[in-house]
């Protein structure tokens, strides 16, 4: 069974890792659109267009299911991807919401990029289930992580700036609606002491149970649209071993 | 005379404003590649490819000279643009360097995105002229500006984190090697009290003297590859009046 995973960049490798841990035998093709990263500051139309192009590339590689490892793309493009292509499509939003509903006592916080929060994708699904929802866009979190500032004074102040209102609202569960945010988990947990923090990569891997079979040759292929800075370092950091990526120096074809 | 200006996003509008002030009669076509912004985290190859595509789009609109209003694109793509297209090409690097050489007593600092600083474009030209150069990449400055944090506690701490070594080196002149940075000028000047700060948009406009003629119909056309957040607001903020942009929802054609 061959599964395709795409993200705007390298953050989605955390999802790849979780999927691999749960399905050691499947074949995985990963695409990171580093030539156009980030998606979180683009319009919904552009995010949908980019997502269709990424999906088409993976389907041309023969994948039989698609995992959208980017929260912004998951928020806007999952219905379009399901319409266009005849394979199962799993985004990160629904599994994260289900996990939150399993754990919450009634007050859930959601943080993400401006585009993810503006989409209302998490908020709608949580409200339908009858819980109180508090959401906040945290545009500085991704740059902080990419700058390596995953803890310390500046990061603590930015965490306080963004999460103060969620703390005051006394949320009991927080969804990290961006693949970069798990790297800030320690400072976030420190600030929101007793709050349950949900990292959706495990939830996504769990959601694939019943959709895909754990069989294949255990291969992993990595494609990126640009050789961005620290690419090899980040691959080894997240996956725990050096894997050579293929760079698509012309990007992915238009759909 | 029709002049084309391009940037990875909206920051280059500060250059447009400076060029317009100096040449009120020319016709200007501006392209902001908001569907792929930022360029500062992409590889040199990708920055060159994107720059050629932007330039081609402007030349197809009939411009007779090109201004590269993006520091990253200026650092990597100016020679390729000059090779490919038979029109004058002005980047922001050379005018900024000339202005610094005019003002400095011998110690110049340069700050910019990681890609701009890594390119060494400013450093090489300054060293050739025999001055001491101190450079620093400041990847959090653009996100801070885009988040509206142009002053205050967090910004002061980030300024201190990045500029401490330039302060200790006792630079006398600082080049702001990114079109976003002029918006942080107050905090930067506050931190580097007696340092001369160079914003290259005026230097670029001055460098156009002798290359273009101040004649035409005073028209301004704005194109963007994506309707990014706050686009209309930022246009009015920077240009001082509301101008309707045309959105190229398919991006610019490949070259």
pLDDT digits (tens, 9 = 90+) for B42-70: 999 999 999 999 999 999 999 999 999 99
The burial class, CB within 10 Å (0-12 / 13-18 / 19+), for B24 is exposed
**Contacts with A153 from chain B: Cβ below 8 Å:** 157
Percent of chain A at pLDDT > 70 equals 100
What is the distance in angstroms between the Cα of A226 and the nearest Cα belonging to chain B? 7
Please confirm, yes or no, whether B138 is among the known catalytic residues.
Answer: no
Nearest to B47, CA basis, from B12, B71, B63: B71
For A43, the closest chain B residue by CA position comes to: B228
Residue of B nearest to A158 (CA): B154
Say yes or no to pLDDT of B254 above 90: no
Task: Give the model's pLDDT for residue A238.
Answer: 84
Averaged pLDDT, A212-216: 96
Q: What is the pLDDT of residue A233?
A: 84
Which residues contact residue B87 at a Cβ distance below 8 angstroms, ignoring those fewer than 6 apart? B59, B63, B64, B65, B66
Question: What is the overall mean pLDDT for chain B?
Answer: 95
Whether the per-residue pLDDT at A105 is higher than 90: the answer is yes
Give dist(CA A223, CA B16) in Å, integer: 38
Kindly list the strands in the beta sheet with B89-90, ordered across the sheet, starting from the edge strand earlier in the chain.
Answer: B89-90, B65-68, B2-7, B27-32, B220-224, B246-247
pLDDT score of A230: 80
**Contact yes or no for A154 and B154 at CB 8 A:** yes
CA angle A157, A163, A167 (to 5 degrees): 120
Q: Given an 8 Å threshold on Cβ–Cβ distance, is B157 in contact with A153?
A: yes
Output the CA–CA distances (angstroms, integers) from residue B4 to A69, B47, B69, B152, B244, in the order listed. Answer: 38, 18, 10, 36, 17
Question: Residue B160's closest chain A neighbor by CA?
Answer: A154
Confidence of residue A184 (pLDDT cuts 50, 70, 90): very high
| pLDDT at B230 (0 to 100) | 80
Q: Which helix (H) or strand (E) holds A196?
A: strand A196-199
pLDDT band of A28, cuts 50, 70, 90: very high
- Structure confidence at residue B237 (pLDDT): 79
Which 3 state secondary structure label does DSSP give B60?
Answer: helix
Kindly report, residue by residue over B100-150, the tens digit of the pLDDT.
999 999 999 999 998 899 999 999 999 999 999 999 999 999 889 888 898
Contact residues, chain B, for A46 at CB < 8 Å? 35, 226, 249
Contact B43 A226 (CB under 8 A): yes
pLDDT confidence bin for B255, thresholds 50/70/90? confident
Question: Could you give the angle at the alpha carbon of A200 between the alpha carbons of A194 and A201, nearest 5°?
Answer: 125
Q: What does the pLDDT average to over A151-170? A: 97
Q: What is the pLDDT of residue A147?
A: 85
CA–CA distance, B5 with B221 (Å, rounded to integer): 10
Question: Annotated catalytic sites of A, by residue?
Answer: 70, 178
Among candidates A158, A139, A136, A162, which has minimal Cα distance to A149? A158
The CB-side HSE value for A41 (13 A sphere, CA atoms) comes to: 24
Contacts of A92 (CB under 8 A, 6+ apart): A15, A68, A69, A70, A71, A74, A177, A179, A200, A201, A203, A204
What percentage of chain B reaches a pLDDT higher than 90? 85
The per-residue pLDDT for B238 is: 84
Contacts of A121 (CB under 8 A, 6+ apart): A74, A75, A76, A93
Question: Percent of chain A scored above 90 by pLDDT?
Answer: 85
Predicted TM-score (pTM) of the model is 0.89
Backbone CA torsion sign across B237, B241, B247, B253: negative
Question: Is the confidence at residue A234, as pLDDT, over 90?
Answer: no
Which one of A33, A41, A141 makes the best mutation probe of the B interface by having the most chain B beta carbons within 10 Å?
A: A41
Domains and CATH numbers, chain B: 2-91+203-247 (3.40.50.1860), 93-200 (3.40.50.1860)
């Amino acid at each position: 069974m061959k599964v395709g995973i795409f993200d705007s960049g390298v953050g989605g490798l955390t999802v790849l890792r979780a999927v691999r841990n749960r399905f050691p035998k499947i074949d995985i093709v990963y695409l990171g659109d580093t030539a156009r990263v980030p998606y979180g500051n683009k319009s919904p139309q552009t995010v949908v267009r980019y997502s269709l192009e990424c999906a088409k590339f993976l389907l041309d590689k023969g994948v039989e299911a698609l995992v959208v490892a980017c929260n912004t793309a998951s928020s806007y493009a999952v219905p379009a991807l399901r319409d266009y292509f005849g394979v199962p499509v799993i985004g990160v939003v629904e599994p994260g919401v289900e996990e939150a509903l399993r754990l919450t006592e009634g007050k859930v916080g959601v943080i993400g990029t401006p585009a993810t929060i503006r989409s209302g994708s998490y908020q709608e699904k949580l409200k339908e289930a009858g819980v109180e929802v508090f959401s906040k866009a945290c545009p500085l979190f991704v740059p902080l992580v990419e700058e390596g500032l995953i803890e310390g004074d500046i990061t603590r102040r930015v965490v306080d700036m963004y999460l103060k209102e969620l703390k005051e609202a006394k949320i009991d569960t927080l969804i990290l609606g961006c693949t970069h945010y798990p790297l800030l988990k320690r400072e976030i947990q420190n600030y929101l002491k007793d709050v349950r923090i949900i990292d959706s990569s495990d939830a996504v891997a769990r959601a694939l149970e019943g959709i895909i079979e754990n069989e294949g040759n255990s291969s992993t292929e990595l494609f990126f649209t640009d050789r961005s800075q620290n690419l090899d370092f980040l691959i080894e950091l997240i996956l725990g071993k050096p894997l050579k990526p293929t760079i698509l120096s012309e990007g992915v074809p238009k759909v």
